[in-house]
């Protein structure tokens, strides 16, 4: 997690407060927190920024402002600029996925910056001169230009995915053991016989079919408990129905 | 590209027009175009939606509206819902990266839907009942809830990355051949000697240093042309300076 904390998002001359707020939200979603504004505009709507940051307002409030990009990245070992345009300095841009391991490695040792240009024209050549590398986010030729908060989200998401902090939560309910699965199948066999779904001599064959259906994907303890519940309820009903039959 | 066209983004009861517009933009950035609105609200701001779609306004204008999620996904072979919450039906959600290959494969044969819930509460259990699978976008515990257009962007980005349509543009300027690199080094050797940067007997050693510096990364034909231009200009200046010396 430490490496993510060493990654600074730098917005150069951002225009819309709402976008800057959305940038904060994307950063916090993905474990980033260091926001710098380079060359802030006089007419920037700070109210909108705080509003659209929602629960990530702390990132907006803790931002730092610098007179220019040069000052905003002065302490950074690696400075990568984002760009959709083609051109001399842009031909060798790599994707966020290609950049992520190097950025994280470097951020393990020191500060790293990812730089985003203003919404209208992106980073200019004077800004790119301070960048040691370039990120190009893959996009269609039909509409290559991403909203700035979407661009930050894609970069932050790739960093978060590569950071090793993504935990698989599928294990909340562990896969059912063979023992409990067999108890489930035994209960179903009993239930299916009791409701006359199958005859005794065809039961093994039918149970193979049920096993196949229930083995196509992971089967957790919760799943098994639900299936056993259905079988038990079916058994109870079948026994009650038989009882009623006898009574009549 | 065909598979991407078979992937429908379904927004269930979206609240904010601006978000729906941003969703359209993210979709077009990443090659998606089929948008459905399930159970639209009466007070939905359609003006905002068109405005924030920017150049993706056509996606907004071509959207289809359905009375409910059931109708919006009726023709879909695979329906995956997005969720950040935990719970019985959510424990086995997979990440967008895990889902992408299966979604694209299925979309190669028929319609597929990715479903996003309203901004305030996300998809409810009644919506999830129509989903055959679940997507969980990785995010921090500190702020797990993504803006809806950010969530669409992450999913669409993973699909676009996995679609095989992402072209590496680094090849616009091919890597320089050994022959042209050697001509460049020969020119630099001549120039560095002419400006008395190095003596003849130390030239080989110094040139090894220059070769090392210029071989750390890819060196394209454009790069080589720039480096040769510098060397030629230096040579020209050095010769003129010597000429001046002789004249004085």
Q: Which long-range contacts (CB under 8 A, 24 or more apart) does B163-170 make?
A: B163/B1, B163/B3, B163/B4, B163/B31, B163/B104, B165/A140, B165/B1, B165/B4, B165/B31, B166/A95, B166/A138, B169/A86, B169/A91, B169/A93, B169/A136, B170/A91, B170/A92, B170/A93, B170/A94, B170/B218
Q: Which of B166, B187, B208 is the last residue of a domain?
A: B166
Backbone angles phi and psi of B135, in degrees to 5: -105, 130
List pLDDT tens digits, range A107-161.
Answer: 998 999 999 999 999 998 889 888 888 999 999 999 999 999 999 999 999 999 9
Chain A residues in contact with B28 by the CB 8 A cut-off are 140, 142-143
Per-residue DSSP letter, B195? T
Q: What is the CATH number of the domain that holds B240?
A: 1.10.8
Q: Are residues A44 and A156 in the same domain?
A: yes
Domain with A220, as residue range(s), is: 171-247
ipTM given for this complex: 0.73
| Domains in chain B, number | 2
Write down the pTM of the prediction. 0.75
Chain A residues in contact with B172 by the CB 8 A cut-off are 86, 91
- Interface residue of A25, A140, A166 to substitute, partner B, most B CBs within 10 Å: A140
Q: Which of B150, B166, B182 is the last residue of a domain?
A: B166
* B162 in contact with A, Cβ within 8 Å: no
Q: Is the dihedral of CA A221, A227, A231, A233 positive or negative?
A: positive
Query: How much of chain B, in percent, has pLDDT values that exceed 90?
Result: 55
Chain B residues in contact with A93 by the CB 8 A cut-off are 169-170
Find residues 68-87 of chain A whose CB sits inside 8 Å of chain B.
86
Q: Which of A133, A166, A199 is the last residue of a domain?
A: A166
Chain B residues in contact with A165 by the CB 8 A cut-off are 140
Q: Is A173's CB within 8 Å of B91's CB? A: yes
Q: Are residues A160 and A182 in the same domain?
A: no
Q: Are residues A142 and A234 in the same domain?
A: no
Find residues 174-213 of chain A whose CB sits inside 8 Å of chain B.
none
List pLDDT tens digits, range B148-206.
Answer: 999 999 999 999 999 987 755 544 567 778 888 888 899 989 988 888 888 888 888 88
């Amino acid at each position: 997690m430490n490496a993510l904390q060493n990654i600074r998002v730098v917005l150069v001359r951002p225009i819309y407060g709402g976008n800057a707020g959305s940038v904060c939200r994307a950063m916090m979603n993905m474990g980033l927190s260091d926001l710098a504004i380079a060359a802030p505009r006089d007419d920037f709507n700070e109210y909108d920024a705080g509003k659209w940051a929602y629960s990530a307002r702390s990132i907006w409030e803790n931002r730092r402002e610098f007179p220019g990009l040069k000052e905003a990245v002065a302490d950074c070992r690696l400075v990568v600029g984002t760009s959709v345009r083609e051109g001399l300095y842009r031909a060798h841009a790599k994707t966020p996925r290609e950049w992520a391991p190097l950025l994280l490695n470097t951020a393990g040792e020191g500060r790293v910056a990812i730089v985003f240009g203003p919404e209208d024209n992106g980073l200019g050549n004077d800004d790119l001169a301070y960048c040691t590398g370039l990120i190009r986010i893959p996009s269609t030729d039909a509409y290559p230009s991403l909203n700035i908060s979407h661009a930050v989200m894609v970069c932050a998401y790739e960093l978060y995915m590569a950071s090793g902090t993504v935990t698989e939560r599928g294990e909340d309910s562990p896969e059912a053991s063979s023992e409990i699965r067999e108890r489930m199948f035994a209960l179903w066999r009993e239930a299916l016989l009791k409701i006359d779904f199958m005859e005794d001599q065809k039961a093994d064959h039918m149970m193979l079919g049920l096993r196949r259906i229930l083995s196509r994907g992971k089967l957790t303890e919760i799943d098994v408990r639900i299936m056993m519940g259905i079988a038990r309820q079916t058994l109870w009903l079948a026994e009650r129905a038989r009882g009623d039959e006898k009574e009549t």
